Structure 1
Amino acid sequence: MNGLTLQDFDKYFNELHGHAPYDWQHRLAKKVIVGSWPDIIDLPTGSGKTACLDVSVFALACQATMPVKERTAPRRIFFCVNRRVIVDEAHQRAKRIAKAIWKAERESGRSKPVLQLIAAALRTISGISDQEIPPLDVLELRGGIYRDNRWARSVTQPTIVCTTIDQLGSRLMFRGYGVSSGASPIQAALIAYDSLVLLDEAHISRPFLQSLQWIAQYLNPEKWAEQTISVPRMKVVPMTATPPQGTNTNDVLQLEDADRQNEGLNERLICNKLADLKSVENVVNAAVTDAKSLSEGRPTAIGIIVNRVVTAKEIYRKLREQHSESVVELVIGSMRPVDRDRQASRLQSLVGPNRPKETGQTSFVVSTQCLEVGADYDFDVLITECASLDAVRQRFGRLNRGGRPIPAKAVILIDEKQAKEESKLDDKKPLDPIYGNSLSRTWNWLCEYAELTTAETEPTSSEDSQPKKRKRKPAAKLTESRSVNFGINAFNGLLEEHGDDGRIPETLLSPSSKLDAPVMLPTYIDLWCQTNPQPVPDPDVSLFIHGLQEGARDVQICWRADLVEDDVMTSKQWPDVVSLLPPTAAECMSVPIGRFKRWLLDGYGAGADETDLLVTIQQDNSKNGQLRTPCVLWKGVRESILLKNVTELYPGCTIVLPINAQGWEELGHIPEPTQLTEVVVAEKTKTESDTSSNHETESADHSQLDVAEPAFLQAKDRAVVRLHPVLKPLRNKVPAAQRVLDRLADDESPPSTPELRQLCSEVMREFLNNLDIHDASGVQWEFYPDRRGLVITTRRRLDQVIEWYLPSLDDGEDQPTQTL
């Protein structure tokens, strides 16, 4: 025995996070250690569901000395959710767990004895004693350019994988995006066996949950195998406060009275979140007006969540104009990971989980559905557009998330055209293309059960200021307002009284929550098992992930400043230029393929009905035509081409645009360009002054938006420096760079190889010194096709970015993947 018991769980949790666990976390640990996960984890927003990762690691360590056949705690833990932002946050927590365990193991003292026992137990399971490799591996699986297969390197290594449902589902069904035909069966098996799948926000992934349940049935060796392999099957645990219809609810983990004895958790449960209901003529103007009025008087953190990308951008533009002294951020799905990480870092101190109880600076965060669930942000005020009731309820999880002692305020807005009585709703012709008629029905339900408040308002007299004779003072007008309390306890009480057995009525749920996956026939499994070659026909796995309403597919877009056309370089050389520094996922913006096609042909960006839901209907009516700019379709070092027409685009492909083509605000959002650029690109008015401003913007230097170097460092833990006359920002920070360019320009006396090696080493040393990294040993370089510059790369990893987990594999890097 390794000495770990349930009594150590509280100490383990405290050593990890500096505080005791909630009672439900302790109860879950007790249940899991003896070998049983609940059918559903039904917990409200803000109750710490991601701590299921902590519990699963502890349970695995407790069973380390048991025979493999008797273990019920899986080695591989998949935290899976249909929202990228939640995947990122879960990944951060998993990294903190892994780092803390590894750090405790390498410390000589006994300051964290339970974590040291955990580390030893995990090494017993993996069989790896080398302390240069961590006891627990952690990674994030999301769409991008390069495969990261290290999680499939070892059958024994304890691992946490945070992933989207697309990445997990495609691999489980032998069609992993970017996974080779030879590796597909291996990855499918590693997910199907000795694994735990925590499906967070399962109510928004009903088709995938159904498919997981089908697969679990087919993994039953008593019915579908000639003999057992004596390895436990995949265990699926949905986590949701709104269990999808048909889900097994025999064993549900919920909050109990003991949880409410925890002061911090109870404050989150009992705090009030009063929301005023407003039917308005224009949602954008109303949101901006309410944001202004609710921010007056004292610093306030305001969150604004709307249903359309276009709506969010317009609100963001107006707030930037009116509140230049305040922080204004736009959070949408189409953002580069490197920008999203920087933005999240900026927002942590303002609205993050460790924010101060009293707001010190006014801020406005405008978002679409990407902050609807899971995002650990805590606003003082919430302004939201009406949606289906399940979506609205989730959005209120961002309002006073920590249960602070503040008067949390909220407004729910609806376009008056969508505020229709039930008798005027026709389900064959729904009012909203995303939420159907559930949006209008939600509004009607809220109005019916809202608290009605009547107040007197003094009328404004239109009479002359000096009346001819005394008149009776006009009577005060009575105004009515409706409000609903979305506090956790208060709203649960409303559902108990007026809901469907304490649940949200089905007619008020979003259409996506009612989607079904096709019946998974054994024939489909037989076809998917054939990976090389793949059979024809081949069932489309996306239908089993998203249901019969297939989600919009993305392409990856990045911008490079060294793609130029002049007297020396032509666009035909661009594929070779990109091959010198292949794109990485961190610098790429995920954009719906239809949106990119429209922009590439006619300059238009997001359509009026586009949202940030991963499952939406996006019509692609684009036709072939003249491209507005040359660009590179990245297919690897040897097969990349210059895009000729939009018919060559396909879901998951990667496109590299020249920085002068711009388009980042039409296609998505980059948070930190100059304010002039953002305002001009977004507004697109036809006034004379705007025409002049637009001309200035187009001629501006946008090369600072090329983030290839930091993205490569983040993805590969190796440094790279591009030197070329068109790349100006770097030369200001690295003086040696200009010396290299001067020598390359000397045709009469070109530099020798030893001289170049010395110069390149100086450049890399200066570059890394700016990053406070003091290791430039071993560099290599390649020339640009025009010989005016070169690309310098360190030969080995720097152990700066990913020093705490297994090195990533480099095989298959040129294979593009689906980005989802």
Structure 2
Amino acid sequence: MMPPDFSAWYAERHGYSPFPWRAALAARIAARDWPDALDPPTGSGKTAVIDVWLWARLHGLAVPRRLVYVIDRRLVVDGVSDYARALADSLAIEQRPAVITMRGGLSIDESWLADPLRPAIIVSTVDQAGSRLLFSGYGISPRAAPMHAGLLGNDALFVVDEVHIVQPLLQTLASVAGQRGSAVALPWRVLPMSATWSGARVHGLSDADWQHPLLARRLSAAKPAVLRHLPSETDLAHALAAEARRLRREGAAVVAVVCNQVDHARAVFAHLSGDGEAVLLTGRIRPYDRARLSAAYLPRMAVGSRSRRAPLFVVATQTIEVGADLDMDALVSECASLSALRQRCGRLNRLGELASAPAVVVHREPPGKSDPVYGEEIERAWKWLNRVASGKPATVDFGIGAMDRTLAERPPPAEDRPVAPLLLPAHVNLLAQTSVRHGIDVAPWLHGWRSGPADVHLCWRADWSPDAVLAAPPAEHELLAVALHAFRRWSAAVADVEGGEPVGREHLHRQQCMRWDGEEAALIASDEARAGDTLVLPADAGGCDAYGWAPTSQAMVSDVGDTVRRVRLHPQVHPELAGEIGALLADDDATDADWRELARRSGVLDGEPGRVLAYPGGCVVLRASEWSSESGMRAVPLAQHQQAVSTRAAALAAGSGLADELVDALRRAGAGHDTGKQDRRWQAMVGGDGSLLLAKGPGSDSRWLTLPRGWRHEMASAVHQKDPLVRHLVGTHHGHGRPLLPAAPDIGLWRRLGDWAEETGELQRSYGAWGLAYLEALLRLADWAVSAEEQAWN
């Protein structure tokens, strides 16, 4: 049966018809004729690939359940996420996919894990999606890593935007595709998307697109870029600012200046701040600050805002190159690679509302060393631009149609691409051993050999103590992603290539930080930081201002750790409440109700205050909906719990489309996953009286003393299973045993599971690393879901 017309469905969502290339893509996917890549140009609405996928999912076409939209610009991740949420909200509630944003830190919404059968749109940076796929998720615990890898490695469509900047990831995804195996036969596909792609079976614009009245106007609009050459001794920031001022005088309202490095952008911003309103946009900024700047400035430079514009200078790094729905009147760009320049010009006159929009490309002779971002590509691009330029001053038209003709007539030299190391089966085997601290850095598989280490995520707190962090863990909105090498240099008071000159003195408060791993905060030396770490710094350490990462700033950093779900009542966090907080801290008779009343008056919480979590010097008050009134768990009979998990695991397996034998394996694993809890010591701990075996119960903390330290009920459960796959699923259902079991005090358990590591290796070879992880994930998620339902509180 043919699905409903895509164009009509799209028009119902958006109020207008799709461009022809979008409808043609939907028709291809309906016919199972997937292209190898998409190459519609900037301004043609590439994000609509999400619409095509969602339409196909809703109408039963053979497309993967999860769409993972990967783009390596944080600003754009937010924009694509907003688009996906608006699209989801246009549907009936029961049809809406989950929409998840992954761009660093520990507080990423993990609701997509709760129901592996629910379609999901996951918008992610390279680091987040890539590290999770490789069993090394930045910001998640090793025990959770196999679940993320399993779900991303099965029933997923990876749409990789602007592949010219993420070639290593694309190479790694190709290696993953070749090693997934066929035992868990779920779909998995990669769809590269780039305006600069070349190759066979590419889906792009047709004659119908070039003749479409709106799209044709965008494609034919002129974008003449004047080439400006500067001697090496020239002040680059001064020259870029001067060009921006000239374009303003000539009538452009919103003038963008795009720089290759953060320190260049900050210098230009300093020049222009006194010449009218200006904003600085970089990728190294906390989501809290990004949202504040976006609310204030993006409406003034977004597509469709030209008729109501006021003058504005927009100084940015390459964070605005890709996908951002921005529309500038004029552009000044530091010379970069040709593909980067084309993307930057894509932010210029996006809708073709202006017959011509001016640009300037400024090239300063290299001062003796290659550019740390683009290397030799800058010189190659500059030479080619001068060969194809015409007129005086030398000018190149970066309009989409004009540039396509120039590229066809005088092709540029191929650009260097970073190369990823080959992902071998031996590498995958090691990465999948998540219970072993192997210390493998996955950054080269994501960014290539030329890249530096991956990011760390920084959080600044006024109440800087492990107890305070445990009570109020770092939240996504307060985390700033910084390259590991940049953080190390800053913490040692050494200038970063992006950050300026050394500050000239030691900063002891920078040389220590707290590493938050999702469970505890540990004090470490700053030079011990690892890729993917979330690090908590004291607010007086400096390094961040209203526009993001500012290595030379020594000013106090604002603490933005409160959320609509929690408020921290600490005198250093809320100095305006310091007197009242101090009085309650000094009052031995102060009650939780007193703290809740103060939280209510603070105006931070969205809803009624609930649970109070005290720590030395302050407390955290959570929103009422975030906590349960019950002091312990409800008693749940063991047989009832295991039967419910068995039924749920089998349903998830069948709903995923797994083979009958795998459905049966998960059914049996669910039925026996907690058999080890029959142990009388466990029963004593959960408050059982011997008349009925319990899976969970109110118990008390003191009753843990009845169990030896390190005892694991899943090991005690696994010994009862004879089938290797079922035994493995039972033994790993809390994330341990990949491939080493926890050090248990019961030698008898170790003896009966002595060949566990070898058996895990055999299963991984049989089902594939991602297939085995997926099967584990289904059992674990079934257990989580059933447990949550059993403990639900109204």
TM-score band, normalised by shorter chain: 0.7 to 0.9
164, 167, 181: which is aligned to 1:206? Answer: 167
Distance in 2, Cα, partners of 1:797 & 1:20:
43
* CA deviation string 1:92-136 (max 9, x = no partner): 11111112213xx5xxxxxxxxxxxxx5xx5xxxxxxxxxxxx31
**Structure 1: runs of 5+ lacking an equivalent:** 64-70, 106-118, 123-134, 222-227, 419-428, 454-480, 564-573, 611-620, 672-677, 685-696, 732-736, 799-810, 813-820
- The answer to whether the aligner puts 1:157 opposite 2:157 as a matched pair is no
Equivalent in the alignment of 2:312: 363
1:352 to 297, 302, 306: 302
What is the Cα deviation at residue 547 of structure 1?
2.0
1:404 correspondence with 2:353: yes
**Paired residue type of 2:236:** V
Q: Which amino acid is 1:412 matched to?
A: V
In the other structure, the counterpart of 2:610 is 779
Distance 1:146 1:635 in 2: 11
Q: By how many angstroms is 1:636 displaced?
A: 5.2
- When normalised by structure 1's length, the TM-score is 0.71
Query: Is 1:607 aligned to 2:497, yes or no?
Result: yes
| 8 A contact 1:147–1:178 mirrored in 2 | no
Select which of 61, 67, 76 maps to 2:66: 76
Partner SS, residue 555 of structure 1: strand
Deviation string 1:433-478 (CA, Å, 9 cap, x unpaired) is 432322122112111211122xxxxxxxxxxxxxxxxxxxxxxxxx
8 Å CA contact 1:16–1:100 kept in 2: the answer is yes
Q: How many angstroms apart in 2 are the aligned matches of 1:217 and 1:586?
A: 37
Whole-angstrom CA distance in 2 between matches of 1:239 and 1:405 = 27
Work out whether 1:330 is the aligned partner of 2:280.
Answer: yes
The 5-angstrom pairing of residues 64-213 of structure 1 reads 72-102=62-92, 105=93, 119=94, 122=95, 135-146=96-107, 148-213=109-174
Counterpart position of 2:193: 239
Relative to 1, partners in 2 of residues 1:377 and 1:13: Cα closer, same or farther, differing over 3 Å?
same
Residue 631 of structure 1 deviates from its aligned partner by: 5.0
Equivalent residue, structure 2, for 1:669: 547
Question: Aligned partner of 1:410: which letter?
Answer: A
Which residue, out of 394, 408, 422, partners 2:343? Answer: 394
Structure 1 residue 211: Cα displacement: 1.8
Q: Measured at CA, do residues 214 and 655 of structure 1 come closer, stay the same or move farther in structure 2, by a change above 3 Å?
A: closer
* Aligned partner of 1:594 among 466, 485, 491: 485
Structure 2 gap ranges (5+): 628-733, 736-794
Give the RMSD, CA atoms, in angstroms: 3.1
The residue matched to 1:353 in structure 2 has which SS?
A: coil
Deviation at 1:779, TM superposition (A): 1.6
Residues 706-749 of structure 1: CA deviation (Å, up to 9, x unaligned): 2111xx33xxxx2x222333345654xxxxx854543444x5xx
Q: Which residue of 2 aligns with 1:790?
A: 619
Looking at structure 1, the residues matched to 491 and 370 of structure 2 have their Cα atoms a distance apart, in angstroms, of: 30
Deviates more, 1:347-356 or 1:634-643: 634-643
Distance (whole Å) between structure 2 residues aligned to residue 725 and residue 180 of structure 1: 32
Using a 3 Å threshold, how does the CA distance of structure 1 residues 561 and 406 change in structure 2: closer, same or farther?
farther
Contact residue 512 and residue 526 of structure 2 kept, 8 A: no
Deviations 1:295-341 (A, max 9, x none): 12646101111112111111111111333xx2x11111211011112
Q: 1:721 to 1:150 in 2, by over 3 A?
A: closer
CA distance in 1, matches of 2:245, 2:479: 34
* Contact 1:723/1:741, CA 8 A, preserved across alignment: no
1:451 aligns with 2:451: no
Residue 529 of structure 2 corresponds to residue 649 of structure 1:
yes
SS of 2:104's equivalent?
A: coil
1:314 aligns with 2:262: no
AA aligned opposite 1:57: L
Corresponding position of 1:5: 3
**Mapped partners of 1:583, 1:184: distance in 2:** 19
Structure 2 partner of 1:20: 17
Q: Is the 8 A contact 1:631 1:656 kept in 2?
A: no
Q: Report matched runs for 1:713-724 at 5 Å.
A: 713=564, 718=565, 720-724=566-570
**SS class of match (1:398):** coil
CA distance in 1, matches of 2:483, 2:374: 19
Given residue 407 of structure 2, which amino acid in structure 1 is its aligned partner? Answer: L
Instruction: Give secondary structure in 1 for the equivalent of 2:394.
Output: strand
Residues 348, 191 of structure 1: alpha-carbon distance in 2 compared, 3 angstrom cutoff: same
**Structure 2: how far apart are the matches of 1:176 and 1:416?**
41
In 2, Cα distance between equivalents of 1:87 and 1:147: 13
- The answer (yes or no) to whether the contact 1:524–1:539 under 8 Å persists in 2 is no
Q: Name the CA distance, whole Å, in 2 between partners of 1:13 and 1:762.
A: 49
Secondary structure, counterpart of 1:139 in structure 2: strand
The CA distance in 2 between the partners of 1:590 and 1:495, in whole Å, is 36
The alpha carbon displacement at 1:784 in A equals: 4.2
1:50 aligns with 2:47: yes
Indicate if the aligned counterparts of 1:147 and 1:179 stay in contact, CA closer than 8 A. no
Shift, 1:482, TM fit: 0.8
Rate the CA distance shift 1:220–1:646 in 2: closer, same or farther, 3 A: closer
Q: Shift of the alpha carbon at 1:253?
A: 0.7
Aligned partner of 1:560: which letter? R
CA distance in 1, matches of 2:18, 2:513: 51
Which residue in the other structure is 2:444 paired with? Answer: 543
Q: How does 1:167-566 map to 2 (within 5 A)?
A: 167-219=128-180, 221=182, 228-232=183-187, 234-243=188-197, 249-280=199-230, 281-296=234-249, 298=251, 300-323=253-276, 326=277, 328-356=278-306, 358=307, 360-417=309-366, 431-453=370-392, 481-499=393-411, 504-506=412-414, 509=415, 511=416, 514-533=417-436, 540-563=441-464
| Cα distance in 1 between the residues matched to 2:142 and 2:151 | 15
**Residue 525 (structure 2) pairs with residue 659 (structure 1):** no
Deviation of 1:490 (Å): 0.6
Q: Counterpart amino acid of 1:764? A: A
Q: Specify whether residues 84 and 414 from structure 1 end up closer, same or farther in structure 2 by C-alpha distance, changes over 3 A only.
A: same
Cα pair distance change 1:82/1:601, threshold 3 Å: same
- CA displacement, residues 477-524 of structure 1 (integer Å, 9 cap, x when unaligned): xxxx1111100001111111111xxxx421xx2x3xx22222333333
User: Which is worse superposed, 22-31 or 406-415?
Assistant: 406-415
Match of 2:475 among 584, 587, 606: 584
1:36 is matched with 33
Shift of 1:751: 3.6
- The structure-2 alpha-carbon separation of the partners of 1:631 and 1:186, relative to structure 1 and needing over 3 Å to count, comes to closer
Paired position in structure 2 for 1:742: 583
The correspondence of residues 735-774 of structure 1 with structure 2, limited to 5 A, is 739=580, 741-745=582-586, 750-753=588-591, 756-757=592-593, 759-768=594-603, 773=606
Q: What is the distance in 2 between the residues matched to 1:182 and 1:151? A: 17
- Whichever residue aligns with residue 536 of structure 2, its letter is V
Q: Give me the whole-angstrom Cα distance separating, in 2, the residues matched to 1:13 and 1:311.
A: 42
The answer (yes or no) to whether the contact 1:272–1:408 under 8 Å persists in 2 is: yes
Q: Which amino acid in structure 2 is aligned with residue 586 of structure 1?
A: H
2:658 alignment counterpart: none
Q: What is the SS of the residue equivalent to 1:59?
A: helix
Question: CA 1:642–1:403 in 2, change beyond 3 Å: closer, same or farther?
Answer: same
* CA pair 256-152 structure 1, distance change in 2 beyond 3 A: same
CA contact under 8 A between 1:299 and 1:359: conserved in structure 2? no
Separation in 2, partners of 1:278, 1:521: 47
Q: Structure 1 residues 164-173 or 391-400, which shifts more?
A: 164-173
Counterpart amino acid of residue 134 in structure 2: M
Counterpart amino acid of residue 446 in structure 2: I
Q: Check whether the contact 2:158–2:189 (CA below 8 A) recurs between aligned residues.
A: yes
CA distance in 2, matches of 1:556, 1:443: 35
8 Å CA contact 2:38, 2:193 repeated in 1: yes
